[in-house]
Structure 1
Amino acid sequence: MTAVSIEGLNKHFGAIHTLKNINLHVEDGEFVALVGPSGCGKSTLLRIIAGLESADGGSIRIGGRDVTHLPSKARDIAMVFQSYALYPHMTVAENLGFCLRMQKRPEGEIRSKVLEAANTLHLEALLERRPKELSGGQRQRVAMGRAIVRDPQVFLFDEPLSNLDAKLRVIMRAEIKEVQQRFKTTTIYVTHDQIEAMTMADRIVIMDKGEIVQVDSPMELYRRPRNTFVAGFIGSPQMNFIDARRDGTGSISLGPDVAFRSDAALSGKANEVVVGIRPEDLLLDDEGGLQARVTLVEPTGAQTFVHASTEDGNHLVSIETGGRRVRSGDYIRLKPVMHQLHVFDRASGERLDVA
C-alpha cells in the first residue's frame, strides 16, 4: 500500500509563509491533482514531497514510512518535469535506461524495462533518436517512460504539459491517465489548468495563498463549490456572479421578475449575498429573465459563448447550444435555471445552501 500522508506541513521563504499547515491524504493508487493560481504553493508542495525542498514543520509519509528528512533518492518516487530534463547526448533508449544503469541493474532487465515502457508510450520507432530529433509530445513521452521504468511507489508530475500545443495537451493528458490506470501508481499532479485536473484526477486539491481551500472529486467541486474562489476557479467559462439581497421573506431578487426563495438553511444568515450561475444554466429565453445587451459572441463550434451586460452593470456569459444566431448589440433575455443556482455570503464568500 502506497498512500501519501502530509500532516501540518509549513514552508517559509524568508518572511513569506508559502505553505500554511497543509494536511492531505492521498490513497494508494489514487490520482490527485493540485490546482490553483500562480504563487499558491502547489509546485512548492510537490517539491517538498519529492525531497527537492525541505519543510519548516510537519511530516510526510509515503507507504507508511516517514520520509520527511530523507533525501529524494531514498523516497522511491519518480518525477516528471515541465522541461522534460532529458540528456541531449543520449538516445531515447539510453535516456529511458539511465536511472537503471545508475542502480547497476542487470543489462537484460534494463532492456526489458526499456522495451516495456517504449511499447506503453508508443516509442518503439524512436529508441535510436536523440531528444533534438523529437517533437515536444515525444520528449514528454520519454520523460514519462524514464519515470515508468523505475517502478516507483509514487509518480509526481510538475505541470508536464505546459510546453505543448493545445492538440498535444489533449492527447497527452489521455495518455498520462491511461498509464496511471494501467500501473495503478499513486500519482500527484500539479497543474494551473483546471480542465486538465477535471479530466484526469480522482480528486482535486484547490489551493490559494499557501492553503488548501477544498479537496473533492471533480464533479463535487463543480456542483458544490465551498466558496466563491472555488466556484470561479472551476469551470470554463467561469461562473457568473451577481450581487443580491435576501428580503424578510427569504426571497432573493436577481432583477425585475427574476426571484427565488432561499430555504430554511439560510435562516439567520447574512442577507447580503452573491448568486452564482454557471454559463450553461443561464439560458436565452424570450419569455422572461434578465434583460441584457450582447457585447461579444464567441463561436466555438458545438457551443457559442454569449457575453452580455445588464443595465445594473453585471457582466454575464451564457452558453448557447441551440444554434440561435446572436450578434453584438442585440438585446436578449437570460433566464437562470433556478434549481442550479449557487448562493454565497457576500462578506465571507462562503457557500450558503438553497432549495
Structure 2
Amino acid sequence: MTSGLPFDDFRTLLAAPRPIDQKAADHVVQDFRRYAGKGGSLGCLEELAVWLAGWSGRPRPMILRPLLAIFAGSHGVAARNISALPIGATAAMVERCSSGAAPACQLCSTYDLGLKVFDLALDLPTGDIAIESALDEKATAATMAFGMEAIAGGTDLLCLSAFGVGNSTVAAAICAALFGGRGADWVGDEPGADRSIRGRKAGMVDAALSVHSGRLADPLEVLRRLGGREFAAIAGAIIAARSEHIPVVLDGYPAVAAAAVLHAVNPDAIGHCVLAGLSADDGQAKAAARLGFKPLLDLDIGESGVAAVLAAGLLKAASTCYASVAVSGVR
C-alpha cells in the first residue's frame, strides 16, 4: 500500500478497522449463560473472556503467546527540568530490562509472557515541543510502521508500555490538544517530584499548545507535533494488532495518549484495547475516562510494564476459566 503522503496509509487503515467477531463473542456469552443456569458465576472474568473471543476471533479464546512490548524514547522537552529523573534514566531503564533485573522482566517469567524492549534512537531526542515540532510527518509515519513490527514473530495478546523521561508531560500535551483544557488539567504528580515540577510540566504543555495553535485539528498532526517516538510506535502497534485480531493491553499514560490519538481519528479504532491500571497521575485517569476505559486493576502501579503483565495474567485466567466452562460446565 503506497500513497503520496506518509500518513495516508494509516488514515486508510483507521477509516475501516477490522470489526469485532460478534459470532465468536456470542458463542462465549451463550456458554456462560448456560453455566449461570447451573448456579455458576465468574463475574468480570466472563466479560473478559467474551472480550477476548470477540477481538481474537476465537469462539474458544486462549492466550498462548502473550507479549509485552516496551518502547523507549527521548524527548527534547525533558531538558527543561520537568521530571524528578535525570535524562539518562531512560537508557538505564532499558538496560535494567535488558539484563532481566526489572520487575516487569521477573513478572514476564512468572506469567509466561514474551518481552521486547525497543530503543527508539535514545541518543537522538525529539524536538522540544515547547518551541518546535517533535517530529516531521515522514519520521512519525516511519516510527508508526516500526511499531507495527512489534507483532512480528506472532502473539495473541499484545501488552504495550513505554519508557521515556518527560513522556508524561508529552502525554499531557497530547491529551490537552485532543480533549481541550490547559496544562494544569492534564499533568499529574510523579514519585519523587515536588510541586514545582508539576508547575513546570503544566507550563511546558501550555507553551506547546500556544506554539502549535491552529495546527492541531488533525489528530495525527497532534501526534507528530506534540508526541514522540514511543507514542508513534505504540499507535502503530495498536493499528497492527487490530488488523491481525490481536487484543491489546495498554499500560501507562503514554499508551493511553497514543490510543487517544487513534480514537480521535476513529472512535472505533481502539475497541480491541483494555487498560491495565492507573498510576497516581490524575491526567492519565482523566484521559482514560474520556476514552471509556475502566482499568482492570486498581493497584496504583506506576512502573512501566508491571500492571500490563498482571493484567495479562488476569486475562489468561479468564480464558482458562472459560475453557473449564466450555468443557464441563455447560453439559
TM-score, with length taken from structure 1: 0.24
- TM-score scaled by length of structure 2: 0.25
**Which structure carries more relative contact order (alpha carbon 8 Å, separation 6+)?**
2
More helix by share: 2
